[in-house]
């Protein structure tokens, strides 16, 4: 009987120690969804200065398991971009504040105009500059706003729930078009 009690007590101790240490060590070393992006500013330069046919023509969003995604569609090449958390989204050129919902604001500037430089015709047409897409129900995004276009640069702002990790990259295609992609994680 004593042998059985000692065995049971030993098993309980092993289980208790395992339960208190294993998950803590695991949680400290495993990032959310494997995301290791960080929240510092990110910039990139494309292969060349934009041509007269490299303009912004759409902004769209999507929900994914581990992050929310914003895509800026460009008719040609994405020439350069800069994405960073700011205290307030501001317009391109004049720097006027653009209010956004959420606990943090992510400013995106892409070196592609929202108009055709040859004709001055607006290439990115939106219904409401303060609600470019409907992000109701998104885990991270709270609002997507147009921050204008000035001297070949276009700006988009994202109101997000909090300052969270993000990544930025460019995808080419379909055809001669390209896309600037900004993913913001749901949590750290």
Position 29 scores a pLDDT of: 63
Please compute the mean of the pLDDT values over residues 60-66 and round it to a whole number: 98
Task: Report angle CA 177, 61, 119 to the nearest 5 degrees.
Answer: 45
Average pLDDT, the chain: 87
Check if the beta carbon of residue 185 is closer than 8 Å to that of residue 158: no
Question: pLDDT confidence of 107, banded at 50, 70, 90?
Answer: very high
Q: Is the pLDDT of residue 88 over 70?
A: yes
Nearest partner of 140 among 68, 69, 88, judged by Cα: 68
Q: How much is the pTM? A: 0.83
Q: What is d(CA 183, CA 109) in angstroms, rounded to the nearest whole number?
A: 15
């Amino acid at each position: 009987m004593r042998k059985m009690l000692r065995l049971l007590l030993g098993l309980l101790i092993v289980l208790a120690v395992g339960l208190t240490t294993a998950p803590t060590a695991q949680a400290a070393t495993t990032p959310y969804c494997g995301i290791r992006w960080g929240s510092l500013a990110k910039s990139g330069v494309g292969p060349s200065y934009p041509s007269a046919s490299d303009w912004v023509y759409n902004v769209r969003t999507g929900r994914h398991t581990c992050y929310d995604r914003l895509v800026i569609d460009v008719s040609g090449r994405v020439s350069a971009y800069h994405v960073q958390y700011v205290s307030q989204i501001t317009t391109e050129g004049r720097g006027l504040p653009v209010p956004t919902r959420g606990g943090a604001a992510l400013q995106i500037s892409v070196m592609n105009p929202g108009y055709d430089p040859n004709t001055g015709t607006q290439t990115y047409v939106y219904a409401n500059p303060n609600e470019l897409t409907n992000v109701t129900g998104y885990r991270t995004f709270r609002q997507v706003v147009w921050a204008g276009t000035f001297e070949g640069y276009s700006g988009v702002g994202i109101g997000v729930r909090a300052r969270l990790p993000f990544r930025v990259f460019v995808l080419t295609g379909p055809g001669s078009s390209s896309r600037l992609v900004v993913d913001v994680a749901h949590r750290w």
